[in-house]
Structure 1
Amino acid sequence: MPFALYLLALAAFALGTSEFMLAGLIPAIASDLDVAVGTAGLLTSAFAIGMVVGAPTMAAFARRWPPRVTLLACLVLFAGCHVAGAITPMFSILLATRVVGALANAGFLAVALTTATTLVPADRKGRALAILLSGTTIATVAGVPAGALLGTAFGWRAPFWAVALLCVPAAVGILCGMDKRQPASVIGATDLKAELSELRSTRLILAMALGALINGGTFAAFTYLAPVVTETARLADSWISVALVMFGIGSFAGVTVAGRLSDRWPGLALTIGGPLLLIGWIALAALAPLPGFLLVLIFIQGMLSFCVGSTLITRILYAASTAPTMAGSYATAALNMGAAAGPVLGALALTVGPGVLAPVWVAAGLTSVGLIILLAARDQRTTGVAIRPR
Structure 2
Amino acid sequence: MPLGLIALAIGGFGIGLTEFVIMGLLPEVAADFGVSEAAAGWFISGYALAVVVGALGLTAATTRLPRKPVLMGLLVLFIAGNAVSAMAPSYELMMSGRIIAALCHGAFFGIGSVVAAGLVAPEKAAGAIAIMFTGLTAANVLGVPFGTFIGQQYGWRATFWAISVIGVIALVGIATLVPRLDRTGAAGAAAAPSLRRELSAFRSGQVWLSLAVTVLGFGGMFGAFTYIAYTLTEVSGFDTATVPWLLVLFGAGLVAGNWAGGRLADRSIDGTLLAFIGALVVVLALFAWLAFSPVATIVLLVLMGAFGFGTVPGLQSRVMRYAAEAPTLASGANIAAFNLGNALGAWAGGLTIAAGLGFTSPIWVGAAITVAALVVMAIAAATARRTAPLAAEQPDATAPAAPPTAPAPAAAH
Task: Give the TM interval when normalised to the shorter protein.
Answer: 0.7 to 0.9
Task: Tell me how far 1:299 sits from its aligned partner.
Answer: 0.8
Q: Identity percentage over the alignment?
A: 34
SS at 2:310 equivalent? helix
Aligned mate of 1:251, from 236, 250, 254: 254
CA–CA distance in structure 2, aligned partners of residues 162 and 12 of structure 1: 15
Task: Tell me how far 1:348 sits from its aligned partner.
Answer: 4.0
Is 2:321 the partner of 1:318?
A: yes
Return the TM-score normalized by structure 1: 0.86
Match of 1:337 in 2: 340
Alignment of 1:146-225 (within 5 A): 146-151=146-151, 159-179=159-179, 181-183=180-182, 185=184, 187-188=190-191, 190-225=193-228
What per-residue deviation string (whole Å, max 9, x for no partner) do you get for residues 43-86 of structure 1? 44432322222123212222333433322222232233234334
What code does the residue aligned with 1:140 have? Answer: N
**Bigger mean CA offset, 18-27 vs 133-142:** 18-27
Match of 1:134 in 2: 134
CA–CA distance in structure 2, aligned partners of residues 352 and 87 of structure 1: 41
Are the aligned partners of 1:148 and 1:241 in contact in 2 as well (CA < 8 Å)?
no
Match of 2:276 in 1: 273
Are the aligned partners of 1:233 and 1:290 in contact in 2 as well (CA < 8 Å)?
yes
CA–CA distance in structure 2, aligned partners of residues 283 and 341 of structure 1: 22
What per-residue deviation string (whole Å, max 9, x for no partner) do you get for residues 242-282 of structure 1? 12211111111111111111122223322222122012122
**Bigger mean CA offset, 319-328 vs 110-119:** 319-328
**Bigger mean CA offset, 105-114 vs 159-168:** 159-168
The number of residue pairs the alignment matches comes to 388
Task: Tell me how far 1:123 sits from its aligned partner.
Answer: 2.1
Alignment of 1:216-235 (within 5 A): 216-235=219-238
SS at 1:63 equivalent? coil
Task: Tell me how far 1:196 sits from its aligned partner.
Answer: 0.3
**Bigger mean CA offset, 201-210 vs 147-156:** 147-156
SS at 2:231 equivalent? helix
What code does the residue aligned with 1:133 have? Answer: F
What per-residue deviation string (whole Å, max 9, x for no partner) do you get for residues 264-323 of structure 1? 222332222212201212222333343332222111111001112321111111111110
Alignment of 1:66-105 (within 5 A): 66-86=66-86, 88=88, 94-105=94-105
Quickly say closer, same or farther: Cα 1:361–1:145, change in 2 above 3 A: farther
CA–CA distance in structure 2, aligned partners of residues 326 and 144 of structure 1: 31
CA–CA distance in structure 2, aligned partners of residues 387 and 276 of structure 1: 22
Match of 1:112 in 2: 112
**Bigger mean CA offset, 333-342 vs 298-307:** 333-342
Match of 1:61 in 2: 61
CA–CA distance in structure 2, aligned partners of residues 29 and 227 of structure 1: 22
Match of 1:3 in 2: 3
**Bigger mean CA offset, 191-200 vs 353-362:** 353-362
Return the TM-score normalized by structure 2: 0.82
Match of 2:354 in 1: 351
Are the aligned partners of 1:22 and 1:223 in contact in 2 as well (CA < 8 Å)?
no
What per-residue deviation string (whole Å, max 9, x for no partner) do you get for residues 312-357 of structure 1? 1111111111104434313222222213333333444443343444
Task: Tell me how far 1:31 sits from its aligned partner.
Answer: 7.5
SS at 1:85 equivalent? helix
Are the aligned partners of 2:284 and 2:367 in contact in 1 as well (CA < 8 Å)?
yes
Task: Tell me how far 1:367 sits from its aligned partner.
Answer: 0.9
Are the aligned partners of 2:182 and 2:191 in contact in 1 as well (CA < 8 Å)?
no
Are the aligned partners of 2:25 and 2:156 in contact in 1 as well (CA < 8 Å)?
yes
What code does the residue aligned with 1:267 have? Answer: D
CA–CA distance in structure 1, aligned partners of residues 345 and 277 of structure 2: 17
**Bigger mean CA offset, 293-302 vs 342-351:** 342-351
Quickly say closer, same or farther: Cα 1:100–1:277, change in 2 above 3 A: same
CA–CA distance in structure 1, aligned partners of residues 319 and 184 of structure 2: 19
Structure 2 unaligned blocks of 5 or more: 398-413
Match of 1:307 in 2: 310
Are the aligned partners of 2:246 and 2:298 in contact in 1 as well (CA < 8 Å)?
yes
CA–CA distance in structure 1, aligned partners of residues 109 and 321 of structure 2: 17
Task: Tell me how far 1:137 sits from its aligned partner.
Answer: 1.3
Are the aligned partners of 2:212 and 2:376 in contact in 1 as well (CA < 8 Å)?
no
CA–CA distance in structure 2, aligned partners of residues 292 and 242 of structure 1: 14
CA RMSD of aligned residues (A): 3.1
Quickly say closer, same or farther: Cα 1:288–1:161, change in 2 above 3 A: farther
Quickly say closer, same or farther: Cα 1:230–1:98, change in 2 above 3 A: farther
CA–CA distance in structure 1, aligned partners of residues 105 and 151 of structure 2: 22
CA–CA distance in structure 2, aligned partners of residues 95 and 347 of structure 1: 24
CA–CA distance in structure 2, aligned partners of residues 231 and 84 of structure 1: 38
Match of 2:51 in 1: 51
Task: Tell me how far 1:173 sits from its aligned partner.
Answer: 1.8
